[in-house]
Structure 1
Amino acid sequence: MDDREIMKRLQDPFLPDEIEWRVGSTNGDKTKGIALAYVTNRAIQNRLDEVFGVFGWRNEFREWKNNSQLCGISVKVDGEWVTKWDGADDSNMEAVKGGLSDAMKRAAYQWGIGRYLYNLESVWVDLIPAGKSHKMKAPPKLPAWALPEGYSYGVKPVVEPHQDIPPPALKAKYELFKGSMEGFESWVSMMQEKGRNYREMEHILQEGLNKKKESA
Structure 2
Amino acid sequence: MEKLQAPFAPDEIEWRVGSTNQDKTKGLALAYVTNRAIQNRLDETFGVFGWKNDFKEWKGTSQLCGISVKQNDEWIAKWDGADDSNMEATKGGLSDAMKRAAYQWGIGRYLYKLPSVWCKIKAVGKSYALAETPNLPDWALPKEYKGTKTGNKSTGVEPGEQEGDKPGSTPFNAVEVAKKLFAYAVNKTTLDAEGYKMFRQDLVEARKIATVDDREWTEKDAKIVQAELLKLKK
Match of 1:110 among 98, 101, 104: 104
Partner letter of residue 54 of structure 1?
A: V
Please give the TM-score of this superposition, normalised by the length of structure 1: 0.70
Q: How does 1:119-198 map to 2 (within 5 A)?
A: 119-154=113-148
Indicate which of 40, 64, 87 corresponds to 2:58.
Answer: 64
Higher relative contact order (CA 8 A, sep 6+): 2
User: Which letter does structure 1 place at the counterpart of 2:96?
Assistant: D
Give the conservation status (yes or no) of the 8 Å contact 1:144–1:152: no
- Cα deviation, 1:159-189, whole Å, max 9, x if unaligned, reads xxxxxxxxxxxxxxxxxxxxxxxxxxxxxxx
The Cα RMSD (Å) is: 1.8
State the partner residue of 1:163.
none
Which ranges of structure 2 fall in alignment gaps of 5 or more residues?
150-171, 180-220, 226-234
Shift of 1:129: 1.9
Q: What fraction of aligned residue pairs are identical, expressed as a percent?
A: 69
* CA gap 1:140/1:209 in 2 versus in 1, 3 angstroms: farther
Q: Distance in 1 between the 2:76 and 2:6 partners?
A: 21
Unaligned runs of 5+ in 1: 1-6, 156-205
Say if 1:211 and 1:83 are closer, same or farther in 2 by CA, change over 3 A.
closer
Tell me what 1:10 maps to: 4
Is this contact kept in 1: 2:35–2:98, CA < 8 A?
yes
Matched to 1:55, the amino acid is: F
State the Cα deviation string for residues 114-146 of structure 1 (Å, max 9, x = none).
Answer: 000011111100011212222111211111000
2:75 is matched with 81
The count of corresponding residues between Structure 1 and Structure 2 is: 160
Does structure 2 conserve the Cα–Cα contact (< 8 Å) formed by 1:74 and 1:82?
A: yes
How far 1:154 moved relative to its partner?
4.5
For normalisation by structure 2, the TM-score amounts to: 0.65
